[in-house]
Structures are given as structure tokens and as C-alpha cells.
């Protein structure tokens, strides 16, 4: 199931939602509005270098989260 990023047009909250294609339209967790805009999401791919080691993203600059930038939801 993909994770989608949304921005609420009513209150401005940004959030992520794990959804199936057949799921009902999401609503804002704060104000419960359904006036949402889907955000353009970046994705990460894990590849292998010439030595066979995995090229993983570095820690987040905001909080040090080991999954890389954007993983902690801080901007």
C-alpha cells in the first residue's frame, strides 16, 4: 500500500496517509475536512554500490533520524 502526502486546504495541516486504491477519500486528522490537496512526494531507492554495499541515505539534518531526510516529519 502506498503512503500519500496531503495538505489540508481548510487548516493547512500536512500529513501522510497509508491508503489502498479502493480506500475512501481521506480527511484531515485535525479539522476533519475533505478539502485536501495531494502533495508531490519524493521517494528513496536503495541501491548497491560497486562493492556490493547498500547505499543508504544519511541521517536527517533536523533530528538525526536514521532513515534520512523527511523520515521524522520535521521540516
For the chain, the domains span: 1-41, 44-75
Number of CB atoms found within 10 A of residue 41's CB: 11
CATH number of the 1-41 domain? 2.20.28
Is 25 a residue whose pLDDT tops 60?
yes
* Cα dihedral 38→34→29→6 (10° resolution): 0
> pTM of the prediction?
0.53
At residue 40 the predicted structure's pLDDT band, cuts being 50, 70 and 90, is: confident
Is 33 a residue whose pLDDT tops 90?
yes
Amino acid at each position: 500500500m502506498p503512503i500519500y502526502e496531503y495538505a489540508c486546504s481548510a487548516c493547512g495541516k500536512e500529513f501522510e496517509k497509508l491508503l489502498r486504491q479502493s480506500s475512501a477519500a481521506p480527511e484531515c486528522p485535525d479539522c476533519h475536512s475533505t478539502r485536501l490537496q495531494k502533495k508531490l512526494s519524493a521517494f528513496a531507492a536503495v541501491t548497491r554500490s560497486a562493492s556490493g554495499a547498500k547505499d543508504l541515505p544519511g541521517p536527517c539534518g533536523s533530528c538525526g533520524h536514521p532513515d534520512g531526510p523527511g523520515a521524522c516529519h520535521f521540516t
